[in-house]
Amino acid sequence: MAEIKIGRMVLGVCQTNCYFLYRDGEHEAIVVDPADRGANIYGALQKNGFRVAGILLTHGHFDHIWGLDGLRDAANAAAEAEGLEPVKAYACAAERELLKSARMNVSEQAGRACETYADVYVKDGQEITLTALEYRMLLILMENKGRTLPRSLILEKLWDSEGNFVNDNTLSVYMKRLRKKLGDTAEGQLIQTVRGVGYRMEK
């Protein structure tokens, strides 16, 4: 597997480090803390041949988030034009209130109010307990990240794993439970429903 490289831009009034991570020889980058001027971050990466694959926020204060919306908008416009999945921003669940309050994240006091959100919130140190069936479903989805799996194919794989019958209704119930345990919300979903077809786990 290719070595992970780290690049850096110094941005904003606080001279915050904005990092981008990528694998040597590959063209997808994860941006960490888009401190300011998100469209400029996107332009600089694009100029150097990179596509934004995801955005990570280490915390929610203004000097780390001023560029989030601009970067996400630019990356998603490019993704849509290329027929790719939307780019998601990830943050710790503890930062949710900070991100959506210009007063709490101090952007209001800094002169440029910013109220934003992450697409996916994760919990620090969170442990998830899965049943055997939920675990098998998760493995199937993870082994096929970015691919839409028909319900019939998932059912077939679940049947093959232990020879036990799993019907369509059972699949729906267990998928709902799995999503809840993974923290899927309307704002951010790791497992997408493709109406009339099946499910897809985002990359």
**Which has the higher per-residue pLDDT, 125 or 1?**
125
- Domain end marker among 89, 122, 155: 122
11-46 core/surface letters (b: 16 or more CB in 10 A; e: else)? bbeeebebbbbbeeeeeebbbbbbbbbbebbbeebe
For the ranges 28-42, 113-127, 164-178, the maximum mean pLDDT occurs at 28-42
Extended strands (E) in 4-123: 4-11, 16-23, 28-32, 51-56, 89-92, 120-122
Percent of the chain scoring above 90 in pLDDT:
44
Task: Kindly give, in sequence order, each residue whose CB lies less than 8 Å from that of residue 81, ignoring residues fewer than 6 positions away.
Answer: none
Tell me: pLDDT of 162 over 60. no
**Contact present, 23 and 39 (Cβ < 8 Å):** no
Q: What is the pLDDT of residues 103-125, one digit of tens each?
A: 999 999 999 999 999 988 877 77
Same domain, yes or no: 137 and 115 = no
Is residue 127 in some structural domain? no
* DSSP, res 101: -
Tell which wins on pLDDT, 200 or 3.
200
Least confident span in 114-118, 165-169, 175-179: 165-169
Q: Tell me the pLDDT band of 1, cut-offs 50, 70 and 90.
A: very low
Residues 31, 83 contacting (CB under 8 angstroms): no
Per the domain annotation, does 154 fall within a domain?
yes
Report residue 188's pLDDT band, with 50, 70 and 90 as the boundaries. low
Domain shared by 185 and 153, yes or no: yes
Listed residue (74, 58, 57) closest to 119, CA to CA = 57
Most confidently modeled of 116-120, 153-157, 178-182? 116-120
The residue range of the domain holding 12 is 4-122
Average predicted confidence (pLDDT) for the chain: 86
Extract the tokens encoding 11.
């941005």
- 192 in a domain, yes or no? yes
Model confidence at 19: pLDDT above 90:
yes
- Predicted confidence at residue 201, as pLDDT, reads 83
On whether the CB atoms of residues 25 and 13 are closer than 8 A, the answer is no
Distance CA 37, CA 68 (A): 8
Query: What are the b/e assignments for 51-74, b being 16+ CB within 10 Å?
Result: bbbbbbbeebbbbbbbbbbbbbeb
In this structure, the answer to whether residues 167 and 89 fall within a common structural domain is no
Residue 3 token pair: 């070595």
> In the chain, how many domains are there?
2
Output 186 or 142, whichever has higher pLDDT.
Answer: 142
Is 68 among the domain residues? yes
Q: Which CATH number characterizes residue 137's domain?
A: 1.10.10.10
Q: How confident is the model at residue 191 (pLDDT cuts 50, 70, 90)?
A: confident
Angle formed at CA 60 by CA 58 and CA 65, multiple of 5 degrees: 90
Look up the pTM and report it. Answer: 0.65
Residue 84 has pLDDT above 70, yes or no: yes
